[in-house]
Structure 1
Amino acid sequence: MKTTDDILKLGDPRLYETCEPVDESELPLVAAWVQDLHEAMEDIRRKYGFGRGIAAPQLGIMKRLFYLNLDKPYVIINPELKNLNEDTFEMWDDCMSFPNLLVKVDRHRSMTLQYFDENWKKKTWEVRDDISELIQHEYDHLDGILCTMRAKDAKSFKYR
């Protein structure tokens, strides 16, 4: 069972690596990866009271995959962000890799997400506001970018 302790913490060099795409031949592995992501996220929810998404590299799975648990679970494989709206908003972002730190960042208000689901079906999802920012956060993890690297300025950090 994966827990908070299995999530890579700020400073771990793997968090700064660019992930490889999931190949269709790896689809049989995805269910186990998603189960691990789900378990770690549920433990964060219990311990810290937050968590709507987690990216595979946060568990050392260096693949372009993230998992969201919103109104239902979403498995996002090889995502692509399209039509990023120029309209942005400022927010305090949090991350499971540093659960007590909040970082002030700007995120795009809306965008289009294209991805494969757990059945290797191509999907398109138009998202806005809190879902848009969540997807941008998780997508950044796949490129080795943490919200600390997107901070608005040197004073854009605070403890939860």
Structure 2
Amino acid sequence: MILPIVAYGAPVLRKVAKDITPDYKDLAKLIADMWETMYASNGVGLAAPQINRDIRIFVMDSAQIFENQENDEKGQYPDEPGIKRVFINPHVVELEGEEWSYNEGCLSIPKIREDIMRPETVTLEYVDENFEPHTETFNGLTARIIQHEYDHIEGKLFIDYLKPLRKKMLQGKLNDISKGKVRVDYKMTFAK
């Protein structure tokens, strides 16, 4: 089932999400719905707060970025061909490497894209959908998407990395998003 994406301004986007246990109600259905919602919205990642759940889970698929690349773009990133994965109860162990810029957007903040600096690699402890534990290091675009989605479960948004002046310049657009004055081609719910 395609779920509505929560828009900028909703309190759930600013909450630190809670870990869940293997007996979380209808977890398999929630994960399936998150995948369906992400793909229907043309996203590469989706965190539970974006569907109004304050739990530590996100899905991401960096492989689709590489599948849709032009031939002259191939081989630019060390994580090619990307991954598709579910992260439950993730916690960052380490951020490493030089920070690099990439133009990011967010399903909860439609029609705004900004160049954001993030470290090259991220090491995470997490459990998968079978609650098997993992500690893994990711790099390239995969690391970037993971850091972006991880921020969601920490109550942070990509616009928090902007310089104050730039954020002030976007404030009108952000206010419009929170009031529902934005058109998107996916289901969205707005703060009241």
**TM-score, with structure 2 as normaliser:** 0.72
Letter of the structure 2 residue corresponding to residue 2 of structure 1: I
Alpha-carbon RMSD across the aligned residues, in angstroms, is 2.0
The CA deviation at 1:155 is 2.9
The CA deviation at 1:76 is 0.4
Among 46, 56, 80, the residue aligned to 1:54: 46
What CA distance in whole angstroms lies between the structure 2 residues aligned with 1:146 and 1:83? Answer: 19
Partner residue, 2:104: 93
SS in 2 for 1:132: helix
Are 1:30 and 2:22 matched, yes or no?
A: no
Counterparts of residues 6-85 of structure 1 (less than 5 Å) = 6-26=4-24, 29-45=26-42, 51-71=43-63, 73-85=84-96
Q: Which has the higher contact order (CA 8 A, sep 6+)?
A: 2
**Deviation larger for 55-64 or 104-113:** 104-113
**In the alignment, is the contact (CA less than 8 A) between 1:105 and 1:152 conserved in 2?**
no
The CA deviation at 1:25 is 2.4
**In the alignment, is the contact (CA less than 8 A) between 1:106 and 1:152 conserved in 2?**
no
**Deviation larger for 112-121 or 64-73:** 64-73
SS in 2 for 1:77: strand
The CA deviation at 1:153 is 4.8
1:26-68 CA deviation, whole Å, 9 max, x = no partner? Answer: 1x522111122112111111xxxxx211001100111000011
- Cα 1:85–1:148 change in 2 (3 A) is same
Instruction: Report how many residues are paired.
Output: 151
1:116-136 CA deviation, whole Å, 9 max, x = no partner? Answer: 000010012221121111111
Identity %: 28
Letter of the structure 2 residue corresponding to residue 64 of structure 1: R
Are 1:142 and 2:134 matched, yes or no?
A: no
Partner residue, 2:133: 122
What CA distance in whole angstroms lies between the structure 1 residues aligned with 2:21 and 2:112? Answer: 34
Higher radius of gyration, 1 or 2: 2
The CA deviation at 1:154 is 2.6
Which runs of 5 or more structure 2 residues have no equivalent in the other structure?
64-82, 174-192
Which runs of 5 or more structure 1 residues have no equivalent in the other structure?
46-50
Runs (4 or more) in structure 1 with deviation over 2 Å come to 69-73, 152-159
The CA deviation at 1:99 is 2.3
